[in-house]
Structure 1
């Protein structure tokens, strides 16, 4: 799962359109660095949520310079990586590995989850929000795993959360469908009003963008009743 806190407050993402992402050009001067950091920088510049599973966020990305449209810039960054781009509805872009990568790779990646402090967006404006982001991760998985209709593992989930001053989800928005209207509704019901357990730190950018991919070990196996 990848949680990012891009500068998308106030509805900047809603102004994004597929045509703008392919036509409007931006000046890029990104060094060679972790892929998650490059994607976060592109998202901030273009005002769009660019989501990548945290397992791939630490992969190296080449330097990127020049004037490019967003989709062209992403293709240059991902060239040769095996990762693909899926645009949802003009409000978010999901970077993912196709199923052809096989279960062996998915299993290996699931065995080494990224620490919260290493998630793109965990540090912003000189502040470290990794502790709170880790708390959001746990609350989200606990909430979804406790709901049979929304239990993760078999669907891709891309959403944005806005937390109130008490640490409850005041607003949530699905950025893309899970592929099932029933699961979409169950996820929305489960997460709306979810309590993280602590107020967000002062200055933490919102909304918080979340990506959860199918596969891997998301929920603990249910306990067997004592005999």
Structure 2
């Protein structure tokens, strides 16, 4: 007999999830509370397993798949009439191996995009006289649209200079990464700017 949650009406709208690494049973409880979706599972199946963290905006089914990454379990969506349930079950060995390969490839894509993103942002900041000054620290947050353009840029920690703060946000809003973000990129993106002596990038000196 399975434990879990009774099936509810299907909902595939993206939602904001903030589920940390924790025992799988507790993570499934939090998933259900956030999504309002059913999650049917055997209590013996989840014992001793740890959920992967899920932070960002996803559909319930995508969020649950991310939550189950690395657990050896998979989710299957079962629909009967107007009702649907997300059923958690044991993955086949072949599927586990395939999932591990896909996770590694996804991580490689995110690392490559993260490097590109930082390079594009820093090039834009170095091109602005106010933003290029190297004597400040700041914290920025932004989204990357499917077009590759930076959106929703905001300053989380002031540099101590209003003019420079405005230059940072204005410059960031004009950045075009040039490629769509991979689906596994966690958004919004947070960027910490440090002075060079603290490990921050250095803008190249312009030729006279």
Which interval holds the TM-score relative to the shorter structure?
Answer: 0.3 to 0.5
Relative contact order higher in (CA < 8 Å, ≥ 6 apart): 1
TM-score normalized with structure 2 length:
0.47
